[in-house]
Amino acid sequence: MARVLRDGAFEGETHIVTGAAQGIGNAVATMLAEHGAQVVLVDLDPSRLEEAAQEMARVASVSPIAHAANVTDEAQVQQAVGAALDATGSIHGVVNVAGITKDARIAKKSYDDFKAVLAVHLHGTFLFTREVAAQHWHPLFKANGNEPLDDGVNRFVLNFSSVSARNGNVGQVDYTAAKGAIESVTKTTAREFSSYRARVNAIAPGPVNTPMLEAVGEAGIAAMGRATLTGRIAEPEQMAAVICALADPLISGYITGQVLQVNGGMYLA
Ligand SMILES: NC(=O)c1ccc[n+]([C@@H]2O[C@H](COP(=O)([O-])OP(=O)(O)OC[C@H]3O[C@@H](n4cnc5c(N)ncnc54)[C@H](O)[C@@H]3O)[C@@H](O)[C@H]2O)c1
């Protein structure tokens, strides 16, 4: 994968990435690791995760840590963040990527599917964000006499919305609800986490070439490409590059509470 920032841009930092076994999460974690971060990979299946960690270790300067967890399970998320802290001593960033789709029009949408999609995207994002604050950043703030953490340490939360949050998408009432909520959560988190001097942003990708799009089929993917101004769907590495830029305080030190549209011009906000 091409390096997009200076060598060692994230050296000495620990970044948690959820949904890291495949797709965008995998590309994000790989690119952060290539820039020197100690990445903590979270996903459901331990063996797929271990495979991803081994593959990533070939390009990472610090060996990735694999931690299987379901982002919707409060105890597992608490455990994952605790283990990351025990192993590294400090967490600098969390990238909430994990996601699922269960597309069906509203009339045929089961309540269980609706809740499952909300749970992975919205509850998962909340749980990881809360745990990093509760176990690490808030105690630092308390120890600093409840004064803002002006210690120059890079801290960030990066969330995943979607172009469909603002544009709507047939069959995705649950997914678009979750993504719209994640945009609001991003703004509230940015306000609260200013005390930790953590920047909190989201990206809203257009269609990206990952297993998530498999259900759409070849013709559907071609149509999505035509609906952009670039004429094609994106590759996961293009999302990873934007995440690296948002994680980098030299580029994005004055950006917080924002949702960046990375959609090839599919929707002009
Ligand atoms: N691919 C796209 O076109 C597209 C467009 C806009 C936004 N997004 C968003 O980008 C993010 C990544 O999407 P992707 O295309 O890489 O998807 P993907 O399906 O390829 O990968 C998602 C990963 O999340 C993991 N995951 C799912 N549920 C989980 C859970 N409960 N706990 C832990 N891990 C879990 C899966 O195992 C998988 O490895 C998602 O939030 C998605 O909504 C994707």
Catalytic residues: 175
Residue with CA closest to ligand 1 atom 20: 23
Structure tokens given for 143: 């120890």
Contacts for 262 with CB less than 8 Å, ≥ 6 apart: 203, 204, 205, 206, 234, 238, 239, 242
Distance 152 CA to ligand 1 centre (A): 32
C-alpha angle with apex 11: 26 to 41, nearest 5 degrees? Answer: 25
Which residues are within 8 A (CB) of 176 and not within 5 positions of it... i.e. 6 or more apart?
162, 164, 165, 168, 169
pLDDT, tens digit (0-9, with 9 covering 90-100), for 199-247: 999 999 999 999 999 888 999 999 999 999 999 999 999 999 999 999 9
Cα(195) to centroid of ligand 1, in Å? 30
Q: How would you write 119-168 as a 3-class SS string?
A: HHHHHHHHHHHHHHHHHHHHHHHHHCCCCCCCCCCCCEEEEECCCHHHHC
Per-residue model confidence as pLDDT tens digits over 194-211? 999 999 999 999 999 999
Give residue-wise pLDDT tens across range 73-122: 999 999 999 999 999 999 999 999 999 999 999 999 999 999 999 999 99
Residues 186 and 197: their CA atoms lie apart, in Å, by 15
The answer to whether 260 and 203 are in contact (CB under 8 A) is: yes
Strand partners, 39: 15
Q: Which residues surround ligand 1 with Cβ inside 6 Å?
A: 18-19, 21-25, 43-44, 70-72, 97-100, 120, 160, 162, 205, 207-208, 210-213
Enumerate long-range contacts of 229-234, CB under 8 Å, 24 or more apart: 229/264, 229/265, 229/266, 230/264, 230/265, 232/264, 233/206, 233/207, 233/208, 233/209, 233/264, 234/205, 234/206, 234/207, 234/208, 234/209, 234/262, 234/264
pLDDT in tens, 121-158: 999 999 999 999 999 999 999 999 999 999 999 999 99
Length of the chain: 269
Average of per-residue pLDDT values in the chain = 97
Question: Which of 22, 24, 45 is the pocket-test mutation for ligand 1 (most atoms within 8 Å of CB)?
Answer: 24
Rounded Cα distance, 25 and 8, in Å: 20
CA torsion sign, 200 to 203 to 204 to 207?
negative
Helix (H, G, I), strand (E, B) or coil at 203: strand
**Residues 62/56, Cβ–Cβ less than 8 Å:** no
Q: Are 153 and 92 in contact (CB under 8 A)?
A: yes
pLDDT above 90 for 2: no
**Amino acid found at 238:** Q
For ligand 1, what atom is nearest to the CA of residue 121? Answer: 41
Instruction: Return the bridge partners of 201, or none.
Output: 158
Angstrom distance (rounded) from CA 132 to CA 117: 23
Contact 42, 71 (CB under 8 A): yes
- Atom 2 of ligand 1, residue of closest alpha carbon: 208
Structural class in CATH, domain 14-262: alpha beta
pLDDT of 46 > 90? The answer is yes
